[in-house]
Structure 1
Amino acid sequence: MTPRRSGARSPAHPSSLDFPLRIPGVDIPERVHHDEHMALWQIRGSTLVRCGETSVEISEGEVIWLPAGTRHSLEVRANSVLFPLSISVDEIATVLTAITVVPIRNDEKIYFLALHQSQSTVIQPSANIQRQVLSILERRVLAPDDLPLPTSPGAAAVAGALLFNPGDDRRILDWAREVGTSGRSLERAFVAETGLTFGQWRTRSRMHAAARLLRAGSSVVSVTQRVGYEDPSGFARAFRDFYGMSPTAYATPPDRD
């Protein structure tokens, strides 16, 4: 049976858009999430977020990051829409350890919608959406790495995608198809323009990301997930090979007398 598609609206039946928007404001009493970070995305209007003695007003197009354990209450203004998104502390690592407000671009909103969909419905893509949302938020506050970057369009696009999501495990042939070239040409571009093979460059990118996450206090298990390794032991071996010490030792600052 073919579903019917409605035709043009009849003037006799105006849509709801012909009436003024009326969404009452909502006050949410103080709460705290110990096992989850919260990313509150302001879709429309504004919200006053109170965190102890700190109050922050977020406006349309902004996301406020609340690290796990942050006590907060909300005053969602009238005619406003706020999407709460959660990120599990144990499942995935982040360098965002302080309350942070981040503006997001129109082309980035699809990632936040996809995360909301995966958390609120049975539609759950196999890709790690949490990882991509975190990358959007983190790159607003992180200083750039000293990682050499390729300059040719195809290799630069691949490098940018891997900096955005270091856990992406696609092979060089997959990336070559993505940017319309051959695996051999892509490999040559990385070697000629960075002095590193594609594999070496990706490993360095992952290790830089892992180092930041560990120093920010993330667990080895959650960093493993974030940077694309299958298990903590494999990640630990790669990290030790690169930095000459275990992830745990790297994350623990030396005692100072």
Structure 2
Amino acid sequence: MQKVRHTSVAPTRTQRLRSGGEIDAHRHDEHQIVYASQGTIAVTTDTGSWVAPATRALWIPAGTVHQHQAHGELALHLVGLPATENPLGLDKPAVLAVSPLLRELIVAYTRDPDSDSPPHHRLRAVMLDQLTTSPTQPLHLPTPTDPLLRELHGILRTDPADNRSLDALGRQIGASARTLSRRLRDNLGLTYPQWRTQVRLHHALILLADGTPITTVAHQCGWSSASTFIDVFRRTFGHTPGARPSPDARLGQS
């Protein structure tokens, strides 16, 4: 993320991105809501990455340098908000739960972003009201600043199915399990099992967006069975891996 575009106004629009497509590193002077009604969107900043399927949206505060990547064919909805308007009171990126109602409001609002009609203003007001009740979700995969943790992170991202103990991984990078555990707690506020699960869930979302079968995703991400993976996924996201909201067919007309 070396070259950073600066666009003062955060756009409000709907756009399509092919799987693997990217929006390069940039920042706005305004807040932005990023939502994919189809596919899975990944947002990366200097402090970590966020991945959101179609039941989640991303909150990007004003001034945050970020880039997007599409996993699966992406129907992307962007909502820009003035820096003075922060219905969530959040000063850091976050993942938000998207109810069926909020989903339809975002899709409808971004379909005709230049409208200045009273119905469009009312639509915006209801959308912002719904946002204030959207709980944040623990889907942030923080980027470690500690050199040892960065090395460990590289191992897990290369092979999320690596089931070696922290002792065994520590021997590979020259650190004890106790040292790694302490640094994980101090640097990221997570235990090793919590962090590894976050890495695996992020990878699982990407594989699912690319159409990988659930059983294959479970094994490639290190779960012992598809049923175990489904249980973890349901507890985290509130639905099973196969329960995806249907894409809005009208987006092709945007």
**TM-score exceeds 0.5:** no
Q: Which has the higher contact order (CA 8 A, sep 6+)?
A: 2
**Class of the TM-score when normalised by the shorter of the 2 chains:** 0.3 to 0.5
Q: Which has the larger radius of gyration?
A: 1
Q: TM-score, normalised by structure 2?
A: 0.41
Q: TM-score, normalised by structure 1?
A: 0.41
The structure richer in strand per residue is 2
